Structures are given as C-alpha cells and as structure tokens.
Amino acid sequence: MYLTIKETAEYLSMAESNVETLIKQKKIRAIHDGENYLINKEQFNTHLKQMEKYKHLVEEILNEPVPEDIDIKDED
C-alpha cells in the first residue's frame, strides 16, 4: 500500500517537512510519479516492530528490582 507524504506524516506522527527531508536524505524510500512522492507503507513495519520490542525491553530493565548487595558490611 502506498501513502502520500501527508498520510506518511500522520502514520509516523511527524511533520510533513520532516518526511520530505527524510526522503531527500534517502532514509525513506519513495517513488516520484512526476507530481507526488508515493511511499510504501510496508518499509516501516519492521522498524515499528523493533521499536516496540526495544520499548518493552527498556520497561523490563527499569522495573527490575535492585538486588541487595550481600557484601555490604555495617562498619561504624
């Protein structure tokens, strides 16, 4: 499925100008049909899945309790 720049910006929750910049930097693959850029939506699926996995990993790490250090000695 192909999206326009406006639809891609909404899908990625970013400004249209940012999408245009990423296309010009060749970080987003797009086809230019003479008037508009058409962007294949499937290229973002892998990235979004990886971001979700990373988000869950970070949450797990942050929620992990800090173990007590058994080597701490109370010296006064």
pTM greater than the 0.75 cutoff = no
- Looking at residues 30-41, what average pLDDT do you find? 92
Model confidence at 68, pLDDT cuts 50, 70, 90, reads confident
Does 68 map to a domain? no
The least confident of 15-19, 43-47, 55-59, 71-75 is: 71-75
Question: Number of structural domains, the chain?
Answer: 1
Between CA 29 and CA 34, with CA 31 as vertex, the angle to 5 degrees is: 150
- Is 70 contained in some domain? no
Report which of residues 17 and 73 the model is more confident about.
17
Instruction: Find all residues with CB under 8 Å of 28, minimum gap 6, and list them.
Output: 8, 19, 22, 39, 43
Q: Specify the CATH number for the domain of residue 26.
A: 3.90.105
The answer as to whether 12 is a domain residue is: yes
Nearest to 39 by CA among 52, 58, 63, 20: 20
Residue 53 forms part of a structural domain: yes
Domain that holds residue 45: 2-63
